Amino acid sequence: MLWWHWSIMGLVFIGLEILTLGGLGNFYFLFFGVAALMVGALTWVSLTEAAWMQWLCFVFFGILSLLAMRKPLQGTGFTREKDEVPVDSMVGEFATVLENLDAQRIGKVELHGSSWTARNAGTSTIGKGMQAKVIRVEGLTLWIQADPIAQEESHVG
């Protein structure tokens, strides 16, 4: 292959990595893109003219860079693995209601410093600023019920 074939292939791999960064974020295409660019450079300076040698260098550089640099790059914060909140662990916690939330309606709550969509699973309205207990999680929606202790205190005071 010609040097510019390798260069185009390298740019395509890097472009695929950029497009999948939000989805996969596992840095597979990046290393093979860099490997293709390296083979393109070696071919350009006539160090690898045989096609079998170019492919061998591509596989070698791709695997070597993947093994050497994938783990360090994953620790840089480009991936979401470490930042994900285990939503199942939110069951039983208390969230602050951000708007009046009628029974069986959807609204917003705050939990762990983030705003979440929530459905009031109870039979009464939960007022803005009240605490509500998370009883289950479905996707990104928290199912909540009014905290009975907080409701009693608001009626007394």
At residue 50, does pLDDT exceed 50? yes
Q: Domain 87-156 is classified in which CATH homologous superfamily?
A: Nucleic acid-binding proteins (2.40.50.140)
Burial 11-47 (b: 16+ CB within 10 A, else e): eebbebbeeeeeeeebbbbbbbbbbbbbbbebbeeee
Contact 16, 26 (CB under 8 A): no
What pLDDT shows up at residue 83? 47
pLDDT tens digits, residue range 75-120? 655 544 444 556 667 888 999 999 999 999 999 999 988 899 999 9
Question: Could you tell me the CA-to-CA distances from 61 to 34, 39, 45, 68 in Å, in that order?
Answer: 8, 8, 17, 10
What pLDDT shows up at residue 118? 93
Question: Could you tell me the CA-to-CA distances from 107 to 73, 84, 88, 101 in Å, in that order?
Answer: 38, 22, 20, 6
What pLDDT shows up at residue 74? 67
Range 129-135 average pLDDT: 93
Q: What percent of the chain has pLDDT over 90?
A: 45
What is the residue extent of each domain of the chain?
Answer: 3-74, 87-156
Range 111-132 average pLDDT: 91
